[in-house]
Structure 1
Amino acid sequence: MRAAHKYLLLYILTTSCVVVNTFDPVTTTVVVGFGATLGRTIWNYLHESCEPRWIAFNATGLEADLNRKLFGQHIASRIILKAVNGFMSNENPKKPLVLSLHGWTGTGKNFVSQLIAENIYREGMDSSFVHVFTSELHFPHSSQIETYKIQLQQWIKGNVTNCARSMFIFDEMDKMHPGLIDSIKPYLDYYDKLDGVSYRKAIFIFLSNAGGESIIQTALDFWTSGRIREEIELRDLETVLSLSVFNNKKSGLWHTSLIDKNLVDFFVPFLPLEYRHVIQCVLSEMEARRIPPDKNVADQVARDLIYFPKSERIFAVKGCKTIESKLDYYT
């Protein structure tokens, strides 16, 4: 399909040039300008650009995706929907949207980032305006942290200059070298412009396992006291979570000025998943593969996972992270 588009564009541009040869100099200038404009229009139509055709927030779509595809995360779903909806609806935000997602592995942090991208960018995670940084891949050596700081600043400045509606996802924040993320603090602050560039329409998302212990302990406390997890509110977790992350030496947000200066808009807790949520994950994966939903298969997959505490077997150690590979075994 893309090859056909290229041939179409080449044909139109070639035709324009051929027609130009038959006109007088004045007309030639007009036609050449028309051909160039038409060429740019077609190019922008077929290739992703920083325009509403390619970047348009679908609030209804995000709400539907969170309700249908994210399981066991009533707090995260509510925060994400309100935060992103409010930010994208504001044509003149005072600062970038900064979300810090925390929780045990397999609880949905990366998945939520994907859902946000898919409902803002037509190309989703494949968009050239969505940028993912992984600590161990992009910032592996502590001895080069000063170089990483400069590179990170340049990368963000260059991409936001190219498109104000850029999204930056920092994965494995718990493995990032302390102090590195502070290099982008000015871009997250309440500045109209920095060196002629406005960062206020950008989105920054931090993903981390740091703080997961605090979230799990809160969930366990509710279970022990006989209260259901849906009774857990953000106020039960937000303060302890931010303090836990700020004081955790293994966190990329350790003693960071981003927290100290209140530049993180929301600390979003992801609760550990229970057996029933794993069942939902399996059935959802079967639906995505167009396999007839089979609760017996879902039960087999869910029972095969490891849960904790060992005696009560309440929460899945890896959440839904290994569902895809395990489903291959049972189907």
Structure 2
Amino acid sequence: MKLWRAALWLFLPGMARCMEPVSLSLGAISIIAPLFSYYWFRGSPHDCKPLERAINTTALQVDFDDKIYGQHLARLVVLKGVSGFMKNKNPKKPLTLSFHGWTGTGKNYVSQILAKNIYPDGMNSQFVHQFVATLHFPHAHLIDKYKDQLQAQIRNGVKACETSIFIFDEVDKMLPGLIDAIKPFLDYYENIDGVSYRKAIFIFLSNTGGGKISELALDFWKNGKKREDIKLSDVEHHLSLSAFNKKESGFWHSSLIDKNLIDYFVPFLPLEFEHVKMCVRAELQHRGHAVNDALVTKVAKEMTFYPKEERVYSVKGCKVVTAKLDYYL
């Protein structure tokens, strides 16, 4: 008996096991086909979350409190912006967030947490689509092809699930003009060719504006003010101008900014020594190790900080904490 028949034999009721091999084969098809169709095509019942099922704001806030450090503005904007959008049964346009700040400050982490709180499979969900500029769009001479591919992927993604999430990483490394290919999907159209994009979420991650954000944070620190006193209004306008005017931003002269299609420019502040220590503790707990305060401090002190004299902010945020712990553990 062939392997697949042997496997099937185990799952058949006793009477079916008495059938002739030919009958068994035909019977197997009639039994397996519906099951195959059911499990293959039905997907997870939680895959495409309807907009009416509002996001659990409390759970999202707990995740931010436990895993995101020193980013009061990002927490506030994402919590309010996303929860308000998800509760709106008839939004006028997709939700569009643009995250800005130096590497290691939590931009990717926040987008991952957000995806996880909307879809149980998080970044592995078939309705969460991630594009990395240097990986997916590396060649300038292929920009027209990239535009067509990008539009097709967004169109097919939203057809499959109206609440799809699209994450664009390394936007500052994206080919100039490429991002404008998705402008129609972010606009106030009721539908485009019969497809509505109003319930989708678009997130852009960029290092653009990191210098301005750091400068502002440092000014607050020098003047004895708390970082929590920094307001979104203090930096949001500067971020939009920086993104629009810098050719390396990916948004250079982009209609997304010119037409005010980005709902929130979200600043990610540089991380201080205490925030880096929090990252080390969290990583130790994630690996199942007891938290050793001496080790936490030692790893944090090995990070590079700026300005050189004051050593206030981590140059790489929490980016290399994992590698540092690998060395010690």
Structure 1: unaligned runs, 5 residues or longer: 1-6, 19-31
1:116-195 equivalence runs, <5 A: 116-195=114-193
Quick one: distance in 2 between partners of 1:312 and 1:158?
A: 51
Quick one: distance in 2 between partners of 1:313 and 1:170?
A: 32
Quick one: distance in 1 between partners of 2:68 and 2:79?
A: 12
1:186 deviates by: 0.5
Quick one: distance in 2 between partners of 1:95 and 1:120?
A: 18
Q: Which among 181, 186, 198 is matched to residue 200 of structure 1?
A: 198
1:179 deviates by: 0.7
Aligned positions, number: 306
Say if 1:179 and 1:120 are closer, same or farther in 2 by CA, change over 3 A.
Answer: same
Quick one: distance in 2 between partners of 1:78 and 1:287?
A: 26
Say if 1:325 and 1:246 are closer, same or farther in 2 by CA, change over 3 A.
Answer: same
- Tell me which amino acid in the other structure corresponds to 2:308: K
1:226 deviates by: 1.4
- Tell me which amino acid in the other structure corresponds to 2:326: D
Aligned to 1:27: none
Aligned to 2:24: none
Quick one: distance in 1 between partners of 2:36 and 2:193?
A: 32
Residue pair 1:56, 1:121 contacting (<8 A) in 2 also: no
1:285-300 equivalence runs, <5 A: 285-300=283-298
Say if 1:325 and 1:84 are closer, same or farther in 2 by CA, change over 3 A.
Answer: same
| Superposed structure 1 runs of 4+ greater than 6 Å apart | 35-39
Quick one: distance in 2 between partners of 1:173 and 1:51?
A: 26
Aligned to 1:61: 59
Matched residue of 2:167: which SS?
strand
Q: What TM-score, normalized to structure 1?
A: 0.86
Residue pair 2:94, 2:200 contacting (<8 A) in 1 also: yes
1:60 deviates by: 2.0
Residue pair 2:46, 2:119 contacting (<8 A) in 1 also: no
1:135-284 equivalence runs, <5 A: 135-284=133-282
Matched residue of 2:248: which SS?
coil
Q: What TM-score, normalized to structure 2?
A: 0.87
Quick one: distance in 2 between partners of 1:164 and 1:246?
A: 29
Identity %: 55
State the superposition RMSD in angstroms. Answer: 2.5
Quick one: distance in 2 between partners of 1:36 and 1:187?
A: 39
